[in-house]
Amino acid sequence: MGASVARRSQQTGGMRIFISSVEAGYQRYRAAAQQAVEILGHEVIRAEDLPTSAQTPQQGCLAGVRRADVVILLMGQEYGEVQQSGLSATHEEYREARQAKPVLVFVESGVDRGARQRAFLDEVEAWATGHFRTSFADADQLQARVLRAVHDYELAVAAGPVDEASLVERARDLLREQPTGAGGPVLVAVIAPGPYQQVLRPVELEEEALARDVQREAMFGAHPVLDRLESTQVEVRGSHLVLRQRAAAVGLSQLGDIRIDQMARRAADRHRGTEPPHQIPELPSLIEEEVTDRLAAALRFADWLLGRVDPLRRLTDVVVFASVVGGGYLPWRTRAEQAANPGSGTMGRGTDNVTVGLTPTRRHRQALVHDADRMAEDLAALLRREFRR
């Protein structure tokens, strides 16, 4: 997304912006949004302007969304006519856009919405971390707010294109560092964001407030990745802030790169051998559901951390890698497999460092929240394949 926007801005002076809304009764608002976009020198894509072709109107509109760099969504009183998909055309366009495009949402105030439109608005607002959203009362106010939002978006991506290869290299550099961890394998999650820019000045990296906020969220927040019962050492090393515990760590760079170390096995599983004589001791294992849960927590914590250091969301894209260090000798099992046969299993292949990444590697930043569970499941599945290969 950032690469295509920057490249087109350099070559043609503008972006392609798709305007999505109901058409009946909304012409004045669509015209106001169009005027705002064109004042800034960008190209407007609207359903009513699409050329006649062999495609259905639905295919043509969704193709227009895919061609666009940005989507403007106007939401008023009416939901629109329901299509064969069970959604309105505007809802279909939004679904097509939301995981791949920045969406600027403008909601008409002071109107009574029906049940379907209220549900649609609830869905849009649930993706709030990936969208800009504001309200408007009339066409003039809408035009002014579209002007401001599009201009702010231009500034946000002005740092340049997203260089995926550079992000991957930064992530792999972080993975090369020796992990934190005492007495067991370490699960490492690395998130490298782009486009390339400094989000923290050296003096900001040293601020006590930053370290305090990160430590509090990492230990007591909605998605903790540090142990609240462990002491934490805070230090600035080069261009990185590092919070380190005996068996876990969080690292943050001036570029927004994040590394999170957690123990790959739950604490209770690291102290086997004390079972009563009549019980079969459990074989120490990597449990897939536990790895998945830790990865999901790491991704959601990373989203919080990026929001703390980059509230204007200038960092638009991320690459994510996961690694298990020091656990190659262990069996990889599900909870059900462990419960069914706790005392035996197939040992791992013996590799001390197993690293995996997603395909495609580059994801939009909002995926850290909205796709965290799926990304964690996929990373765990890839790790399982390596361990069982």
DSSP letters, 348-375, are: ----SEEEEEEEEEEEETTHHHHTHHHH
If you ran DSSP here, which 8-state letter would residue 61 be given? H
pLDDT of residue 40: 93
pTM tops 0.75, yes or no: no
Report residue 240 as tokens. Answer: 């990185």
**Radius of gyration in angstroms for the set of CA atoms belonging to the chain, rounded to a whole number:** 24
Quickly list H helices, the chain. 2-12, 27-39, 57-67, 89-97, 115-126, 139-156, 164-175, 202-205, 208-220, 288-309, 335-340, 367-370, 372-388
Kindly state whether residues 254 and 376 are assigned to the same domain.
yes
Among 113, 134, 156, give the residue marking a domain's end: 156
Single-letter code of the amino acid located at 223 = H
Q: Both 66 and 102 in a single domain? A: yes
Q: State both tokens at 373.
A: 């569970």
Closest CA relative to residue 136, chosen from 73, 84, 187, 87: 73
117 and 173 both lie in a single domain? no
Question: What token pair was written down for 352?
Answer: 């001390």
Q: Mark whether 194 and 141 lie in a shared domain.
A: no
Q: Give 261's DSSP letter.
A: E
Whether residues 337 and 317 fall in one domain: yes
Domain match, 170 and 39 both: no
Do residues 165 and 11 lie in contact, with contact meaning Cβ atoms separated by under 8 Å?
Answer: no
> How many domains does the chain divide into?
2
Three-state DSSP class for 43? strand
> Nearest Cα to 323, choosing from 227, 190, 223, 224?
190
3-class secondary structure, 22:
coil
The pLDDT of residue 146: 96
Which of the listed residues 108, 127, 156 is the one where a domain comes to its end? 156
d(CA 150, CA 242): 36
Q: Is residue 377 classed as helix, strand or coil in its secondary structure?
A: helix
Residue 76's SS3 state is coil
Q: Are residues 207 and 230 in the same domain?
A: yes
Which two structure tokens, joined as six digits, stand for 159?
């740092």
Please, what is the Cα angle at 264 between 259 and 267, to 5 degrees? 120
CB atoms within 10 A of CB 257: 21
Structure tokens at 253: 């760079």
pLDDT of residue 10: 38
Tell me, what's the pLDDT at 337?
85
End-to-end CA distance of the chain: 35
- Do residues 261 and 191 both lie within one domain? yes
Regions of the chain short of the pLDDT cut 50: 1-12, 54, 269-278
Which residues face 241 on adjacent strands? 236, 252
- Supply the pLDDT for residue 280: 53
Cα distances from 112 to residues 26, 118, 129, in angstroms, run 15, 9, 25
CATH of the domain at 151: 3.40.50.10140
Name the residue type at position 147: L
Domain assignment of residue 44, given as a range = 2-156
Q: Which value, to the nearest 10 degrees, does the dihedral of the CA atoms of residues 357, 319, 253, 242 take?
A: -40
pLDDT at 344: 64
Task: Evaluate whether 227 touches 234 at the Cβ level (below 8 Å).
Answer: no
pLDDT of residue 343: 66
The number of CA neighbours under 13 Å toward the Cβ of 113 is 17
Distance CA 261, CA 316 (A): 24
pLDDT of residue 269: 47
Closest to 45 measured CA to CA, from 57, 37, 54: 37
Asked which of 156, 180, 205 is the last residue of a domain, the reply is 156
Q: Is the domain of 129 the same as that of 175? A: no
- Whether 128 and 207 map to the same domain: the answer is no
Question: Helix 372-388 to helix 288-309 angle, to the nearest 10 degrees?
Answer: 140
Helices vs strands, H then E, count in the chain: 13, 14
Cα–Cα distance for residue pair 194/270, rounded to 1 Å: 37
Q: What is the pLDDT of residue 64?
A: 87
Question: Do 378 and 318 have their domain in common?
Answer: yes
In terms of Cα–Cα distance, which of 290, 386, 379, 293 is closest to 338? 290
Whether 106 and 211 map to the same domain: the answer is no
